[in-house]
Each structure stands twice: as structure tokens, then as C-alpha cells.
Amino acid sequence: MNDEKRYRLKPAEDPAAHPAAEKREQCYEKTVSVLCILAAAVFVLLLIPILAASFSAHTVNDDYNFAWRVYHAVRGGSSPIGILAAAVQETVYIWQIWQGTFSAVFLFSLSPGAFSERAYALTTWILLGSLIIATSYCVHTVVRQRLHGSRAESALICASVLTVSVSFVPDKAEAYYWWNGAVYYTFFYALSLILGAVVLQLLQDPGTINVPTDSAAAGHMTERVSSAHRRGHRRLLTAGCLLGFLVGGGNYTSALLSTECLALVLLWCILTKNRKWREILPVLAFLVLAFAVSLASPGAAERSGRTEGMAPLQAVLSALRQAVVFILQWTDLTVIALLLFLLPAFVHLAKKSGREFRHPLQTLLLSYLLFASQIAPSYYGVSTYGGGRQVDIYYYSYVLTAVGLTFYLTGWLMGRIRTDTAKKRKSGFHSGVLLLWSGKGLLILCIVFLIGCKINGLHSITSVAAGDDLVHGRLAAYDREYMEMAKDLEQGHGKKSVTVSAPTAQPSVFPVSEIETYPGGWVNKAMERYYDIEQIQKKGE
């Protein structure tokens, strides 16, 4: 059964029939339009120092380990096909000896720095771009297609979510300035969001069309629209299968969570006798197939033998406990201000969607379990909740989950006010919520948000940290020192030993360079293979 028909409320009264209601609706639409422009402008301004810092970022640590074949292919003047062949060769090699996440390793090997050290700046642009596009696409699909909201509401929610997600990401250095680490998590998190949006679109029924009165013309138009819909549907299904395969071959966190979500959607379709299960099944099959190929690799078995993980039950319990810690830690004044700021839009969308929200407790429990489940693979593999780059995607999903749950609970609360005697209370509730978008309301929310920023520490804000590195010259110094080192290393190609001056400046937004002070360390070995030098040493050793 179609979910929209199943949960359809009584049609809302026509605002045009009540001049006062129509006026309130027009005022709401104008306010949303203004606020979405302001929210987008704030987000763009916050991006400027983050993107400016990217031009000083450079190849570091595991980038050398995974991109050396492509670097040699580029240096040797190989064609694009030869470069891709080098990436495939590296992927197969790593699948056999270290890790099975083949789609991730393929991207690791295509580090921008392997083509040109100056091109490494693209890392930040690609990662932020993927996060922005994926979040926008996902929010747009939910707000516009599932809830029948406006473009302004979609843009407002998207800009607000991205502002908080990007500004307060736990490990900014590993989120946007390190190709190997950030592609593995931030980029594949973005792919999983796009996959989720595609699945939602596959569940969507085709909209109604205006049919001409002439029977021949009506038949021709119906056939043409039906044909266009089938073509679009096939493209969506193809994109879903491809995305499922890519996500399944990426990090275990995103692969597991995506598998769980798609399995739940498939189960829901079967239980509600929704024939859309036939379109969800192949997407899930491609996802599970890639995930199985990743888990079954000899390299995954080899790597797990070198690490001490937890037993499955212990890993699950640890993940459940750590999820509570993260939720309590991240539910601060900045997130509270975000949710209150979006509350009027939630009220309007819940009313306009015509849906009932009848299962708040079940929704809360399911959201918590899904959030916790993405932490379990790390505990199972290495007995910890993961590095900073992995915690980053926990935070992204936390912000989106908090926004989604607040919307659902808002809809549930509105649904509780149903009786005729409660109309005044319902109207008062709507008016009270809209006060959040009045001049005084917005001022109070800004103060709460700024207090939250101050409590967290201003340097915890990604834009502030990047701007501070820019102003105090740490980025320029690091860039200059790194390029001098890279020049010496490139000129030392084929030599037995090269001594270099490693960068001493260390911007707070960049991952720490781990070139060892003694020969034989893993970073030194990776750099030696990358630059084809037998031994690399620091000056002064």
C-alpha cells in the first residue's frame, strides 16, 4: 500500500478561504525566503577560510602508501588508461594483502597529489563539494518530494545543517585536508546519503498530470509521460545499484549502516505489500555483494590477524554505550539553537505533509540503534570507536538524525492536538513557534548559538581555526617548507640516499606529518617507494 495514502490526514483547509490564514501563509513564505538566503550566505562566508586553507595542503602519510603506482605512472608519461590501470593494480594488490575495501582503495590511489603537488588543494574542494551535494540532494528529496515542502524550506534546512556539520566537525584536519583519510569516510558518507535519496525516489509514485480532454491527445500524452517515467526510473535504479556497489566497497561503517537501512526499507515494503520491493531488492543485492567481496578479501583476514578486536556481543554493547556518550557530548547549545531555529519550518512541513506521526518511541529507539550500529564495526575490528576521520561521519549522521527526529516529534505533538476544543491551543502553538522567527526570537537564538560556540572554544569552529592559521602565517610557512622538501625529493629520484628538511610549521587544520626522525619507519618507507629513493633522512639526524 502506498505510504502517502496510508498516512494521509484530512485535507487541510484552503488558506484562500480565510483571509487571515492566507496572510499568515504569505508572511511565512516571505520569512522563509529571507532566512534561507541569510543561512546560505552565512554558510558560504564560513567556507571561504576553509577553502583558502586548502591551497597549502599537501600529500601526507598514507597518501604515499596508496598513490605511489599512480604517481610513477604520471611521472612516466602514461596515458589516462595507463593511470587507471595503475590504480586498479594497486586496488587488487591491497585487496590481497591489507584491506578489502576495493572502491575506497581505488580512490586512495588517485590522490590529486599524485598528479601534481599543487593539485592536492582539490582534496578539500572535492570532499566539501561531495558533502554539500549529498546533503542538499538528500534534504531536497525528503522535503520537496516526500513532505511537499517549498524550495526555500529545503534550502533553509540544508544550509543550517551544513553550517553546523562543517563548523563543528570533531576532527577538521582529517575531514577535509587529508585525501586518504577523508575520502575513506567523508566521501563515502556522502555517497551513502545520495544512495538513500535515490532509494526514496524509487519509492515515490509518479505524480499526476493535466490530461487533455481530447481522447486521442490524452492517450498520446499519457503514453509519452509513462515512457519518460520508465526511462527516468531505469536511470534511478541503475544509479542506485552502482551507488550500492560503491558504498559496499567503501568503509565498513557506511556499508553496514546502508545495508541495515535498505534491509529495513525492503522489509517495510514486503509487510505493507508495496510492490516497490522489487526495485529495492537489486540495489540491496549490489550493496551486499560488494560488502561481501570486501569482507572476504585475504587482506581483510590478514589485517584482522594483526589487530585485537572485540567479540561481537562486546562490540555491540560498547557501541551502544559510546553512542550515548556521543549524543550527550554533541547535544550542546549550538545544536539546540539549530533545532529551535528550524522548528517553525518543521511545524509548517508537518502540517503541509498531511501525514500522521504515530510512533515516536519506536522512531526514537530505531534511530538510536541505527546510530549506534555504525560504531560497532570499529570496536569489532580494533577495540576502539575509531580515529578522528571516522568520528567525523558519526557527527554528520548525528546532526541529520537530530534534525529528523525533532521534525518527527514535532509532527507527533501536532497530531496530539486533534479535537475541536483544541483548535485554540493549536493556533496558539503555531503562533508561539513562529515567535522564534521574530526579531527578538532570532536574536535570542543567535545569543544561545554564540554562547555554545564560546563554551566549545572558538578554535573548535573549522572556519575560525583555518582563518587563524591563515592570519598567523602557519599555512604559508608550511606550504613553503613542504614544497622545498618535495622539490628535493623529486630531484632525488633514483638516488641511494636523500637528506631533506621536513616542515616545522604545523597548521591546526592539517593532519600531522609523521615523517620519522630515524630511517626505517613506515612513513619513511612509503615516501621512499613513492619517490623511488632508497633512504630518506631528515637534516640534523
Residues 522 and 466 in one domain: no
Residues 406 and 497 in one domain: no
Q: Within a domain: residue 283?
A: no
Residues 402 and 466 in one domain: yes
274 neighbors 3 (Cβ within 8 angstroms): yes
97 neighbors 299 (Cβ within 8 angstroms): yes
Residues 450 and 463 in one domain: yes
What are the tens digits of pLDDT across the range 300-336? 777 776 777 888 899 999 999 999 999 999 999 999 9
What are the tens digits of pLDDT across the range 498-514? 888 888 888 999 987 77
Residues 390 and 509 in one domain: no
Which among 457, 473, 523 is positioned nearest to 63, based on CA atoms?
523
Q: Within a domain: residue 485?
A: yes
286 neighbors 248 (Cβ within 8 angstroms): yes
Residues 444 and 351 in one domain: yes
Rounded to whole angstroms, the Cα distance separating 248 from 225 reads 34
Residue 280 vs residues 243, 262, 334, 360: alpha-carbon distances, Å: 13, 7, 37, 26
Residues 499 and 529 in one domain: yes
Residues 489 and 514 in one domain: yes
Residues 345 and 431 in one domain: yes
Q: Which of 417, 436, 471 is the last residue of a domain?
A: 471
> CB-hemisphere CA count at 13 Å for 104?
34
Round to the nearest angstrom and report the end-to-end CA distance of the chain: 72
Q: Range of 504's domain?
A: 476-541
Check pLDDT > 60 for residue 422. no
Rounded to whole angstroms, the Cα distance separating 311 from 25 reads 56
pTM, entire model: 0.90
Residues 412 and 480 in one domain: no
Helices and strands counted in the chain (H then E): 24, 2
Q: Within a domain: residue 406?
A: yes
Q: What is the pLDDT of residue 16?
A: 45
Q: Which letter does DSSP use for residue 520 in this model?
A: T
Q: Within a domain: residue 309?
A: no
Q: Within a domain: residue 225?
A: no
Q: Within a domain: residue 306?
A: no
Please say whether the dihedral angle defined by the alpha carbons of residues 526, 530, 534 and 537, taken in this order, is positive or negative: negative
Q: Which of 471, 493, 524 is the last residue of a domain?
A: 471
Q: Within a domain: residue 79?
A: no
228, three cell numbers: 519518460
Q: Which of 428, 445, 471 is the last residue of a domain?
A: 471
Average pLDDT over every residue of 260-289: 94
Q: Within a domain: residue 115?
A: no
> CB-hemisphere CA count at 13 Å for 464?
12
Residues 489 and 455 in one domain: no
What are the tens digits of pLDDT across the range 372-414? 999 999 999 888 999 999 999 999 999 999 999 999 999 998 8
Residues 482 and 496 in one domain: yes
287 neighbors 247 (Cβ within 8 angstroms): yes
